[in-house]
Structure 1
Amino acid sequence: MTPTDEYSKEKQQMSGFRYQLNLFYLALSFFSRIPVPATVQYSAPLLNKSARYFSLVGITLAVILALSYWLLSPFLPTTVVIVCLLSISLLLTGAFHEDGLADTVDGIGGGLTVEKRLEIMKDSRIGVYGAITIIIALLMKYSSLLVIADSSQLIASLLLGYALSRAIAASLMFDMAYVSASSGSKSKPLTEQQSGAELTLLLAVGALPLFLFPVTTIVSVLISMWLFRSAFKHWLTKRIGGYTGDCLGAAQQISELLIYLLIIASSNTNNAGVLS
């Protein structure tokens, strides 16, 4: 039975709503440590189709962090609360995306050939490039969220950062080639290209939290995310000829940080305009 036949048979066995819910649970289990019902049906074709819900997984994680912030902020200083949120986030995801960022930097930064870069990226050990990158990324995320919390935009920023960054990362599967041949790759079951409808749903859900922000922020985020995706796609294609699961994790982490920085920059611009 081909993957397509297997997928069609599994889809026929589930009702419309149950099928979509099953896809969401698969996406949630793949990208987080959050428990899902034991009755969830799994197969590589179904997991591939679950990519449409990656941004919704981001919203789910952001809601948990927002609730954590609401519970902790009355009792702890903001600096401590932000550290708690970062820790909770790492626990919820198992540092899945951070690991991808480290492996991407190690591989592309340390390999002189495509083959060597892919080989390094498959290595479970973290190198100097990866370690330094993770430290810088966490420090930037901490400082950015601390500034955002002072402007009372933290919850909206978490929703946008977690949702849209996952949408940008997963959208790379739409028009890029998968290049890793490792059976243990993070994205091996997700290598089939998305349909236009799946990509539209992915991006629409990811961009939904933008409506919580002023127009200037919306415009700057949309333009910057398009530029980042184009530049990152070009860079990956030039360096390794496509994407790997680690590259998707790197795209998620970098775009999330960019979103926070853009929110801060837009907020400062708006405040300067009001003062003038």
Structure 2
Amino acid sequence: MTSPFSNTNSLRDWRDDMRVAIALLTRIPMTHPDGPAPSYLARALRVFPLVGALIGAIVGLVYLALHGLGVPAPVGAALALGASALVTGALHEDGLADVGDGFGGGHTKAKKLDIMRDSRLGTYGSVTLVVTFATKLFAIASLPVVAVLPVLVTAHALGRAAIPALSVKLPAARKDGLGARVGAPEQSVAVTAAMIALVVALLMLPLREALLSVLLAVAAAAAIGALAMRQIGGQTGDVLGAAEQAVEVAVLVACASRFAA
């Protein structure tokens, strides 16, 4: 396995990976100087937790700004989640809804994949989105104000670390999807992403909460991965988005329980 700290990983490589990852995960205009070639896409997964931390910081700062203006906590949390959707284009929420519709409404692998590709939102997807949004909203609103920013940074960083991990561990469920065209990233990419996410968690949270968040993130990602293997025999972009959302929810609920106790 290639070391994530190999000399071949120059500062320019990391900078380019950040640009590609920001372009993929957010609405922020960003292009790679040589175009988003598959090799760049696969390698860029290693910095997904850094982009996740940036998104979490934006969401947290929006919440804190609203709190400073006297906006009630639940309203501030809802608007902060809205800001998150604006920044990301609701990328992972869309994947989560598609997984809800596909896994809930399809009876065969082919039918599930067809439903997941359909842009229309069904009942299962709607309920999944509502439950997820409500859970995140009340978890954020119940956090002490001083904990909101570090918890959100951690949740978003760990959520994005699930994407390279499942991309390495699970085969592509489709032969014609983006994941199949790009190919699985090297294991070192997933290891690097996991290490970055771990460092973010340890820097942002007290040790017990950080380790609990990491353990729950692993459990949530593994649960989505196991479900995807059973339902469609692998991963798709929608499955990766659902895993990211599952990790976010797990971390937010755990931290809300810990800090509110």
Check whether TM > 0.5: yes
The residue that corresponds to 2:51 in the other structure is 57
- Render the CA deviation track for 1:124-146: whole Å, top value 9, x for unaligned: 11111001111111111111100
1:239 to 217, 231, 254: 231
Provide the rounded CA distance (Å) in 2 between the counterparts of 1:172 and 1:37: 25
The residue that corresponds to 1:219 in the other structure is 211
The residue that corresponds to 2:105 in the other structure is 110
Gaps of 5+ in 1: 1-13, 272-276
2:192 to 192, 197, 201: 201
* 1:205 to 1:189, Cα distance in 2 relative to 1, 3 A: farther
Q: CA deviation at 1:40?
A: 5.9
Provide the rounded CA distance (Å) in 1 between the counterparts of 2:187 and 2:257: 33
The residue that corresponds to 1:135 in the other structure is 130
Q: CA deviation at 1:189?
A: 4.7
Counterpart residue identity of residue 74, structure 1: G
Contact 2:154–2:200 (CA under 8 A) maintained in structure 1: yes
Contact 1:55–1:206 (CA under 8 A) maintained in structure 2: yes
Provide the rounded CA distance (Å) in 2 between the counterparts of 1:258 and 1:15: 33
Listed as ranges, the matches of 1:113-262 within 5 Å are 113-148=108-143, 150=144, 152-183=146-177, 185=178, 187-190=179-182, 192-211=183-202, 212-262=204-254
Counterpart residue identity of residue 204, structure 1: M
1:44 to 30, 38, 50: 38
Counterpart residue identity of residue 51, structure 2: V
The residue that corresponds to 2:88 in the other structure is 93
Provide the rounded CA distance (Å) in 2 between the counterparts of 1:134 and 1:230: 20
- Render the CA deviation track for 1:48-92: whole Å, top value 9, x for unaligned: 211111111101112222332343322131333222211110000
Provide the rounded CA distance (Å) in 1 between the counterparts of 2:112 and 2:253: 30
Gaps of 5+ in 2: 1-7
Instruction: State the SS of the aligned residue for 1:194.
Output: coil
Instruction: State the SS of the aligned residue for 1:266.
Output: helix
Provide the rounded CA distance (Å) in 1 between the counterparts of 2:168 and 2:74: 39
Q: CA deviation at 1:24?
A: 1.1
Provide the rounded CA distance (Å) in 2 between the counterparts of 1:259 and 1:43: 33
Alignment TM-score, normalising by the size of structure 1: 0.84
- Render the CA deviation track for 1:7-45: whole Å, top value 9, x for unaligned: xxxxxxx99322321111111101110122574632122
Counterpart residue identity of residue 248, structure 2: E
Counterpart residue identity of residue 259, structure 1: V
Percent identity, aligned pairs only, is: 27
Q: CA deviation at 1:227?
A: 2.5
Contact 2:61–2:149 (CA under 8 A) maintained in structure 1: no
